[in-house]
Structure 1
Amino acid sequence: MRTLIVVPARYASTRYPGKPLVELTGPDGEKRTLIRRSWEAATQVDGADRVVVATDDDRIADHVRGFGGEVIMTSEACENGTARCADALNALGEQADIIVNLQGDAPLTPPWFVEALIDAMKADPGLAVTTPVLRCDAAALSGFLEDRREGRVGGTTAVFAADRTALYFSKEVIPYTGKTLTDSDDIPVFHHVGVYAYRPDALARYITFPTGLLEKWEGLEQLRFMENGIPVTCVEVEARGREFWELNNPVDVARIEAILTKQGL
């Protein structure tokens, strides 16, 4: 099966304009942009046949070409990363059995998170869309709750059925626990990792659907699949000692830099 990884990136982020070009300092003191670190994360994935950055912004495109990445220019009308992946696939004009969306704000994504999605899709041809979920430890849950207390829109949580079909995704912390939990508890909160693997037909159908009400209010693109009857399958992944966080807000820069330094990435 041919697998294409698309790293969508846009300059005009509502919460953080210019985010892809924000510099992050690693353990060696070297500054690399968010989009470069995300592209590097994508190139570490085993089983990927091609990695491209999809953007509508010349500043991002020129920067990516400057460090040796491949760029595909997409429409300014793409309202989210999934739509940008669909546009990129059409623009590339190539066949792919699995299209992976590794979002340009997730440089801490371990390769095995993505490989788990690819493996799941290869093992079950019936899966239309897959996405990773990571069980929160006490520290991660505390980070989620702190963001909500401070009025920040941070990471996303997911709940799913016994067969791993997603029931809902939210920027609120779900399910409600009602008490402080420790690592000795069986914490029921799962961090949704912003990576997706799609079948081409699911991706093609996605862009024919209007924006759904849940998608609009939550600001979560994957809900459009669910609102139109296309199941999203959650694939549980393990951290293996790695910390994961996306760059959602300016305050996340220091958090991600600390993780890069701590883990020597």
Structure 2
Amino acid sequence: MVLPFVGGFMTAAVLAYAVKKFKKLKRRTRVLGVIPARYASTRFPGKPLIMIAGKPMIQRTYEQAIKAKNLDKIVVATDDERIKKVCESVGANVVMTASEIPNGTERCNAAQLALPEKYDIVVNIQGDEPLIEPEIIDEVVQALKDTPDAVYSTPVTLCKKDEVKLLGRVKCITDKDGYAIYFSRGMIPHNKKGEVDPNHPYLLHLGLQCYDSEFLKVYGDLPATPLQLQEDLEQLKCLENGYKIKTITVDHASHGVDEPKDVASIEAIMKKHGWD
């Protein structure tokens, strides 16, 4: 067992979690789905409310998420009244969270702490994935239920060969049992030629993240780690502290909305498949 340290000393919260977690692997049953939605994005302000084929993106994401069967409850966690108003107009439960929360993962934790009910699993459903398949949500939840030694599960899919070197596409490599070895914005695995191998199945990491709820409570207390800082990828903090991440490979043709130009490609996919 590898235990995480903070500046050479283990925090009380992290120690308590580690002892509890590894002393007895618990059965996880109750599941909370959270869609974090922040208005003041640096790269794309107001992104949750961008219109996609006539509906705000946050609405489309919510409408996909509520089709999942493995969620006991789903909420939108936001810091903005405009987003709250749109979500409540379509029947979504909304939890207001602080604007200064730095990322979606910690916003999910704030949401679970604000609710009176307790959950074993918290699913971070990215608000900029309007075409996320509910079946993938269910599969990721089931993966964490079935893998008690992991604290985190997440989906990967085959990466298009022309996107392997794109820094905006996060790649993943796993061991033979599907546990994540590493995530990178660069090409992984990297070969001696430094060129994309047309015969290798590169894996693209999808934004859906599924956490053990107790681990999520202490995740924010873990300090940033060297690889996390180099890659600007939160999930590396888990791996660098010795925690396991279980991946599942799914068939998913779309990616999220990172910038305004992505809206057109999302709408094209919707039109192709006859989505309303």
TM-score between both structures, scaled by the size of structure 2: 0.83
Shift of 1:91: 0.7
1:7·1:104 contact (CA, 8 Å) conserved in 2?
yes
Letter in 1 for 2:30: R
Shift of 1:69: 1.1
Q: Structure 1: how far apart are the matches of 2:161 and 2:55?
A: 28
Q: RMSD value over aligned CA atoms?
A: 1.8
Q: Structure 1: how far apart are the matches of 2:33 and 2:262?
A: 25
Q: Structure 2: how far apart are the matches of 1:191 and 1:104?
A: 18
Q: Structure 2: how far apart are the matches of 1:207 and 1:200?
A: 12
Q: Which moved more, 1:79-88 or 1:230-239?
A: 230-239
Alignment partner of 1:79: what SS? Answer: coil
1:128·1:230 contact (CA, 8 Å) conserved in 2?
yes
Q: Structure 2: how far apart are the matches of 1:8 and 1:106?
A: 11
Give the match for residue 142 of structure 1.
162
Letter in 1 for 2:101: C
Give the match for residue 28 of structure 1.
none
Structure ID, larger Rg: 2
Shift of 1:96: 0.7
Unmatched 5+ residue regions in structure 2?
Answer: 1-28
4+ residue runs over 4 A deviation:
177-182
1:174·1:189 contact (CA, 8 Å) conserved in 2?
yes
State the identity %: 39
Give the match for residue 223 of structure 1.
236
The structure 1 residue matched to 2:213, chosen from 197, 200, 216, is 200
Give the match for residue 250 of structure 1.
260
Q: 1:37-116 residue pairs with structure 2 within 5 A?
A: 37-116=60-139
What is the aligned residue count? 245
Shift of 1:143: 3.9
Q: Structure 2: how far apart are the matches of 1:250 and 1:181?
A: 31
Give the match for residue 170 of structure 1.
184
Give the match for residue 131 of structure 1.
154
Unmatched 5+ residue regions in structure 1?
Answer: 26-30
TM-score between both structures, scaled by the size of structure 1: 0.86
Shift of 1:231: 1.7
Shift of 1:102: 0.6
Give the match for residue 30 of structure 2.
2
Letter in 2 for 1:255: S
